């Protein structure tokens, strides 16, 4: 499916040089002479690189054929991370590089959204918040409660996070996967 330049907006997903890209910024420029231009900033969804691109009015781009599927994380065997489609039970293994940012928050059976381009996985999105158990934490020192004092805590996935002094080892906490920070204590 083709998309006309006049329909190009921030957030549009298009194919450029065979790779899916997202338009991060788009500006319409009408010079005194000649045809109108669309000056855009484009992010390659596979490599993450950001670059500037200019098109003339009337040019057409191919709309990216992207599909999002709910997948369940099963296990890791060294450098491979295996996920299962909950509807078809098909399994897909991604490399460490493909899931690098998500590793500190992944645990068995977590449901993620996986993005596919031409039936090939290109990335995954975790839920905004996950609940993890604290497996290692130093006890809070008495008298340190006058301010918002924090201490370091190791989560069940191995991720280190700063938590308030009143949170103890063995408790469950909610962590924001976008920032990697402690959100709140969870009763289980």
**Domain shared by 51 and 75, yes or no:** no
**pLDDT band (50, 70, 90) for residue 92:** very high
pLDDT digits (tens, 9 = 90+) for 103-128: 999 999 999 999 999 888 988 889 99
**Domain shared by 23 and 51, yes or no:** yes
**Domain shared by 182 and 146, yes or no:** yes
Per-residue pLDDT at 143 exceeds 70: no
Per-residue pLDDT at 187 exceeds 80: yes
CA 114, CA 106: separation in Å to the nearest integer?
14
Tokens of residue 65, six digits: 């054929």
- Mean pLDDT, range 155-177, rounded to an integer: 92
Going through the chain in order, the beta strands assigned E by DSSP cover 2-4, 13-16, 19-29, 37-44, 50-56, 60-63, 66-77, 80-85, 91-95, 111-117, 120-125, 129-137, 150-155, 160-164, 172-176, 181-186
pLDDT digits (tens, 9 = 90+) for 23-61: 999 999 998 888 899 999 999 988 888 999 999 988 999
Determine the structural domain holding residue 75 and report its residue range. 66-125
**Domain shared by 106 and 73, yes or no:** yes
**Domain shared by 37 and 88, yes or no:** no
Q: Looking at residue 105, which CATH number applies to its domain?
A: 2.40.50.140
177, 60, 174, 67: which is closest to 123 by C-alpha?
Answer: 67
Per-residue pLDDT at 141 exceeds 80: no
Instruction: Say which DSSP state 89 is in.
Output: -
Residues 6+ apart with CB under 8 A from 183: 129, 173, 174, 175, 176
Q: How many domains does the chain have?
A: 3
Q: What is the DSSP string of 108-122?
A: TT-EEEEEEETTEEE
**Domain shared by 117 and 76, yes or no:** yes
Mean pLDDT (the chain, rounded): 89
């Amino acid at each position: 499916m083709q998309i006309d330049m006049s329909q190009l907006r921030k957030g549009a997903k298009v194919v450029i040089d065979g790779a899916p890209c997202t338009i991060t910024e788009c500006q319409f420029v009408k010079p005194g002479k000649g045809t109108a231009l669309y000056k855009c900033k484009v992010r390659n969804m596979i490599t993450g690189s950001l670059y500037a691109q200019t098109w003339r009015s009337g040019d057409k781009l191919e709309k990216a054929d992207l599909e999002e599927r709910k997948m369940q994380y099963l296990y890791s065997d060294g450098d491979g991370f295996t996920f299962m489609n909950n509807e078809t039970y098909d399994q897909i293994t991604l490399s460490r590089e493909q899931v690098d940012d998500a590793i500190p928050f992944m645990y068995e059976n977590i449901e993620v959204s996986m993005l596919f381009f031409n039936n090939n996985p290109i990335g995954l999105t975790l839920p905004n918040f996950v609940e993890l158990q604290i497996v290692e934490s130093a006890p809070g020192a008495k008298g340190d409660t006058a301010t918002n004092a924090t201490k370091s805590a190791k989560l069940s996935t191995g991720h280190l996070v700063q938590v308030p002094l009143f949170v103890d080892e063995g408790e469950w906490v909610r962590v924001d996967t976008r920032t990697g920070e402690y959100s709140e204590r969870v009763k289980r």
